[in-house]
Structure 1
Amino acid sequence: MADKRNIPIFYACDEGFIKYAAVSLHSMMVNASPDYHYSVYVLHTGITRETQQKMLRLSNDRFDVIFSDVSERLHAITDVLPVRDYYSNTTYFRMFIAEMFPEYDKVIYIDGDTIVQGDISELYFTELGESWIGACHEQAMVQTDHYGAYAEKVVGVSRHNFFNAGLLLINAKMFREKEILRRFADRLAEYSFVVTQDEDYLNLICKDHILWLDQRWNTEAYCSFPYPIEEAKIIHYIMVSKPWHYADCTGGDIFWRYAAETDVYDEIKTVLDNFTEEDKLKDAEVMDNLLALAKFETDRDDNYQKQLDGSVRARDRVEILEKIAQLEREGRFDVDVENDPPSRTLMPDEIEYGNRGIRKKMKSKFAFAAARRYVNSLIADKKMIIKDIKGVENFRNLNSGAIITCNHFNAFDSFAMQLAYDAAQQPNRTFWRVIREGNYTSFPGFYGFLMRNCNTLPLSSNMGTMKKFMKGVDTLLKKGDFILVYPEQSMWWNYRKPKPLKNGAYSFAVRNNVPVLPCFITMQDSDIMGEDGFLVQEYTIHIGKPIYPDESLSYRERVNDMRDKNYTIWKEIYEREYHMPLVYNTEELKKAEDSAE
């Protein structure tokens, strides 16, 4: 294990870039805490000793500068590395760090086109937990639609959750355990990402395993940012926003202030002085080409995501996702997307809501035993993964009957809510589920048996049956039981956003003067491939604080108030956990954005 007081930092450079990395390192040294020692590695392939001196001269008692040639490691895959325009093979070097330096469990990687205004030790001691990487959002993806569309439709990562790989806090231990380098090589063999290259691969591989850092740790000079540049802990001169090419570059004055304190200042100033209008036109052409490339890749019929849809992923799941996307565009959130069996009307004489005779109790006992065995097998086989249950005390502390609400994205999500109920330790109060009519009357086989016997309360298209339903709900809530309702009124497979809510659940709560307990399940990709060709999702169940009816409001106002508060809680959980704004891709929104432009 490396010395805990030593901080390992990695750059990747070629012969021509050392002088800029030297300025970056100098700025880091000026602002770094004196309480630690820093080992600064420069990964390269054949930088001359003379050029190395530009950074080696910066070494002192606190900062060691070590040049490390990665030629042999790179040689094995160099022929298949896509290289374009201003990129060079050095952009892939960060992939090798964890394997090349097994003595480190955590390292910092930083691009050379940066200025470090913050204390780099503060970044290093950020706790990563089980996250594979710590990074900042890539603002180019968020702020430029063609790049954002590329991220989502080619790489398969939301534009709001795409990170910039020029500043990384790498969990090297997890990189080794999760075999990130092997996964990278496998992806290289499958597909050549050519827009942001290794950044694309890293985002694809590390999706949902990222600790999002304060954006100030990677302030991209090419993009807009909502704070003074003096607050940036790291300024990153991405793409063509280079101070040594453009005198008016954002944050350029800060770069030159540090550069003037180094012995590479004159050399870099010469670069600026000799950068011609023709060179600037070439830069503009490079950026135009990059944008066009992003659009071309997005529109390709054989891009990465479309290849997966055509060869790996189950066709029925692909069609479901396509249908969900279409329904979202149309703003039709209450339409189910699964092909359920034809429904039969549930008649009043077929059910007694909540009233269970001996025979029914025996069936329920058998059904619950079978369901638990089934759930346990799903968990053991990692077909269902419950990562965490948060806020269980909010469930445990309920002292009356309550409506439990949850987002609906999987036929098994009620099993997850059953586990949350079990964790709340309320054994003397029964947990019921409201289900669709067809799931009770027409669902075949084992699942149909569970639907009819695991404490379910089916809705009905028959008015007489619905009267019995309402009476049963009232009786159970007054008894102190819990009733799970899906207020979105539709199930969209693996859909992460909260959908608009219907009033039914909140009418039950107001009618019986009981609270609503808002639960929202978030998902993240595991590293286990499911039989359907999609990664198995890890669930985190978030149990919010109960919402009580406001007696100062009218009946209708109370219903609307509880519904709106529930939605707000879900929205806050979504935005906090997924680190992105809740935005629906509706055609109305798109029209509004187009008109605003």
Structure 2
Amino acid sequence: MPASIAMSSVILNNPDKNLVFHLFANNVSSEKIIRFNQLSKENITIICYEISDNFSINPDTLVLHVSASTCLRFVVPQILNKVTSRVLYLDCDVLCTSNLNELINIDLTDKYSAVVPDLEKTQEKQCASCNIPYGEYFNAGMIYINTDMWVQNNLTEKAFVMINSGKVYKFADQDVLNILMQGKTVFLPKCFNYLTALTAGGKEDNLIGNDAVIIHYVTGNKPWYKLYLTPLYQHYIESSCWANDKLLLANENAPSTTRRYAKLLASQHKYFSALKYYLLYLKHKAFKRC
């Protein structure tokens, strides 16, 4: 679902453009591929790429919540350089909430990419760790890439050498890309990759300015879970082919999650539903003790 919602948001806010989506996936069912293709229109093209399970990354490099699939960013520009000199890479946990004209018209001559600096707390740790000037460590959830320059400088090969070297990078591919692209990026305002961390109820969207072009939901609390669903994200779900799908409660199956959702429902004056989930919480808690 997340990829489809992200794509739908781009389509809805850019009706004036001919869009080509290159979807890189691993072990995605044919049913989901069919649903992705429902987004296709006269000016919308969907191309799906199945990524092999043999995608080789040194597991000792991957820490925190980072998975090997995140390193797909290393191969996307190399593959797509055959068809385009510019590509907008987006993580799945994003929403496009405005027209992309300003972003795609940025001059990338002699630059690898256009990016947005990461949060200050990340800058404080990662700039020193990656030997990058303070303020120039970017978040890799949105990268507008010059694929010609990427290929000319063999960034894919260099990135895999680094990630498999045995050195542990806290943010894996993001650290590697920051190191490789240092001094060759265009830094953009945060509205092009507005980072937000959700709490129960998803009220954080209310704090985002109207100038936001791309909203990026960082941390494991994602808006496609009931506990963190935001009104804005719900709007884009309802505008997609996933509108009738039931959402999972949260990203973890724990009794405390059910209790938190019951509390959220009660705060919204949905008392019957709150009671139902609280009783479910008590049942899960009792079962866990057994």
Normalised to the residue count of structure 1, the TM-score between the two structures is: 0.39
Instruction: Tell me what 1:28 maps to.
Output: 10
Paired letter, 1:62: N
| Runs of 5+ unmatched residues, structure 1 | 1-18, 282-597
Instruction: Please say if 1:109 is aligned against 2:84.
Output: no
Which residue number in structure 2 is paired with residue 55 of structure 1?
A: 36
Q: For residues 135 and 15 of structure 2, what CA distance do their matches in structure 1 show?
A: 32
Counterpart for residue 190 of structure 2: 215
- Matched residues in 2 for 1:192 and 1:38: separation? 38
Q: Match for 2:27 among 46, 51, 63? A: 46
Alpha-carbon contact 1:151-1:158 (below 8 Å) kept: no
What letter is aligned with 1:160? G
Shift of the 268–242 alpha-carbon distance from structure 1 to 2, 3 Å rule, reads farther
Q: Provide closer, same or farther for how the CA distance between residues 275 and 63 of structure 1 changes in structure 2, counting only shifts above 3 A.
A: farther
Change in Cα spacing, 1:263 to 1:86, as seen in structure 2 (3 Å) is farther
Deviations 1:264-284 (A, max 9, x none): 234353445996554599xxx
SS at match of 1:265: coil
Q: How many positions carry a matched residue from both structures?
A: 252
Indicate the residue corresponding to 2:57 in structure 1. 78
Partner of 1:259 in structure 2? 237
Residues 106, 172 of structure 1: 8 Å contact kept: yes
Largest Rg, 1 or 2: 1
Distance 1:43 1:246, change over 3 A: same
Distance in 2 of aligned mates of 1:77 and 1:270:
31
Compared CA separation, residues 201 and 280, structure 1 to 2 (3 A): farther
Question: Structure 1: which amino acid aligns with 2:237?
Answer: A
Cα contact 1:83–1:89 (8 A) shared by 2:
yes
1:94-133 residue pairs with structure 2 within 5 A? 94-101=73-80, 102-133=82-113
CA offset digits 1:159-197 (Å, max 9, x no partner): 411101000100100001111012112212434344211
User: SS at 1:229's partner residue?
Assistant: coil
Structure 1 residues 206 and 268 mapped into 2: Cα distance closer, same or farther (>3 Å)?
farther
Change (3 A) 1:198 1:61: same
In structure 2, relative to structure 1, the CA distance for the partners of 1:59 and 1:163 (3 Å cut) is: same
Alpha-carbon shift at residue 150 of structure 1 (Å) = 2.8
Which SS does the other structure have where 2:197 is aligned?
coil
Counterpart position of 1:151: 126
Deviation at 1:111, TM superposition (A): 0.7
Q: What amino acid is the match of 1:25?
A: M
CA-based RMSD: 2.8
Q: Distance in 2 between matches of 1:120 and 1:280?
A: 39
Equivalents in 2 of 1:54, 1:128: separation in Å? 34
Q: Is the 8 A contact 1:111 1:166 kept in 2?
A: yes
- Counterpart in the other structure of 1:438: none
Q: Deviations over 1:97-136 (max 9, x none)?
A: 2221222211110011111011134322221121111100
**Kept after mapping to 2: 8 A contact 1:136/1:217:** yes
Q: CA–CA distance in 2 between the matches of 1:20 and 1:76?
A: 22
Output the amino acid matched with 2:49.
S
C-alpha contact 2:225 2:247 (8 A) present in aligned 1: no
CA distance, structure 1, for counterparts of residue 106 and residue 183 of structure 2: 18
Local SS of the residue matching 1:269: coil
Q: Contact conserved, 1:193 with 1:200, CA < 8 A, in 2?
A: no
Distance 2:257 2:179 in 1: 34
**SS state at 1:58 partner:** coil
Distance in 1 separating the partners of 2:65 and 2:245: 20
User: Match of 2:70?
Assistant: 91
Q: Name 1:178's counterpart in structure 2.
A: 153
Q: Determine the C-alpha separation between the residues in 2 that align with 1:269 and 1:66.
A: 26
Separation in 2, partners of 1:95, 1:81: 18
Match of 2:138 in 1: 163
**1:20 Cα deviation from its structure 2 partner:** 1.0
Give 1:190's aligned residue.
165
* Structure 2 partner of 1:234: 214
Q: What is the distance in 1 between the residues matched to 2:249 and 2:227?
A: 11
Alpha-carbon distance in structure 1 between the residues aligned to 2:251 and 2:160: 41
**Identity over aligned residues, as a percent?**
16
Q: Which amino acid aligns with 1:32?
A: N
| Aligned-partner Cα distance in 2 for 1:133–1:28 | 20
Change (3 A) 1:116 1:184: same
Q: More relative contact order in 1 or in 2 (CA 8 Å, sep 6+)?
A: 2
Separation in 2 of the partners of 1:68 and 1:273?
A: 26
- Alignment partners' CA distance in 2, 1:86 and 1:267: 26
Change (3 A) 1:277 1:82: farther
Deviations 1:63-117 (A, max 9, x none): 111111232xx73633557444543222111211222122221111001111101
| Counterpart secondary structure, 1:237 | strand
Give the deviation of 1:232 after TM superposition. 0.8
Instruction: Check conservation: 1:135, 1:213, Cα contact below 8 A.
Output: yes
Judging changes above 3 Å, is the alpha-carbon distance between structure 1 residues 228 and 153 closer, same or farther for their aligned structure 2 residues? closer
1:128 is paired with a residue of what secondary structure? Answer: coil
- The alpha-carbon deviation at position 241 of structure 1 amounts to 3.6
How far, CA to CA, are the matches of 2:25 and 2:66 in structure 1? 14
Q: CA–CA distance in 1 between the matches of 2:175 and 2:251? A: 34
- Does the aligned pair in 1 maintain the 2:60–2:168 contact within 8 Å? no
CA distance in 1, matches of 2:55, 2:88: 25
Among candidates 153, 157, 177, match of residue 202 of structure 1? 177
Q: 2 CA distance for matches of 1:128 and 1:172?
A: 10
Which whole-Å CA distance do the structure 2 matches of 1:163 and 1:194 have between them? Answer: 15
TM-score normalised by length of structure 2: 0.77
1:52-451 residue pairs with structure 2 within 5 A?
A: 52-71=33-52, 75=54, 77-79=56-58, 82-84=61-63, 86-101=65-80, 102-139=82-119, 142=120, 144=121, 147-222=122-197, 228-245=208-225, 247=227, 252-267=230-245, 269-272=247-250, 276=254, 278=256
